[in-house]
Amino acid sequence: MGNLPFKIDLSGKVAVVTGGSGVLCSGFVDALAECGAAVAVLGRSLQEAEAKAREVVERGGRAIGVGADVLDKAALKAAHEQILEQLGPCDILINGAGGNHPRATTTEEYWTPDLPENERGETISFFDLDPDGLRFVLDLNFLGTLLPCQEFARDMPGRPGAAIVNISSMNAYTPLTKIPAYSGAKAAVSNFTQWLAVYFSKAGIRVNAIAPGFFVTAQNEKLLKNEDGTLTARSAKILGSTPMGRFGEAHELVGTMLYLVSEQASGFVNGVVIPVDGAFSAYSGV
């Protein structure tokens, strides 16, 4: 990475980053390693996790790639055992795994009940949403945050600076059209962050979250950009509601993450969800 907004000392710490090979969380991996942490890049694709870990090692950091589905308790347990053996107990957990699914997404923003069936075409309404698609999104984002906490937080009591950072979303504040399951799941992540912060407060484990605004990632790029690289109509609406008038860049999340995992910087910060959104959540539209 080589261009941290500021540097904290994480020497001797072990960090686990779920979804660590993704566009946003790979930057977290780089930053944690540059600050001296040994990083376990945990992902469903072992190949991608190992590739990201190799990048860190080639730059002089310490990292390993670990394959595990965040919804598979047995796989998480096996991953934990591998991390304990190769790196040691977990001090910092970043829950970055998440995402949406086409079968949990409507194609329309508003329901038009009077529209004749022969004019609906391939429209997917609220009534067409698939239970399996909805369940996938709810599980991936909420259980995919809760289950890694169950596994890795066991290491944390008595370890100075123990911290968990979850990834929520702007959708948790105000749901976007078309994506009810993702919005609901991220609202659950925010609420769970507060619950877990209270639950772990006597054990010396701080739990906070970051709520990113709109960043271009591999998952949403086709929704935000046309094939020729121009912005879609949905992108134009997003930017029109973002006072800073642009999408965020992945590196702009790093400072907030480092702040939240630093005991020196945020030792009394617990149970908060910090928006990083270009003032999207502050804007009323007028």
Report residue 178 as tokens.
């078309």
Buried b (16+ CB within 10 A) or exposed e, 45-83: eeebbbebbebbeeeebebbbbbbbbbeeebbeebbebb
157 CB neighbour count, 10 Å cutoff: 12
Q: Which residues are catalytic?
A: 182
Give the amino acid at 282.
Answer: A
Give the amino acid at 268.
Answer: F
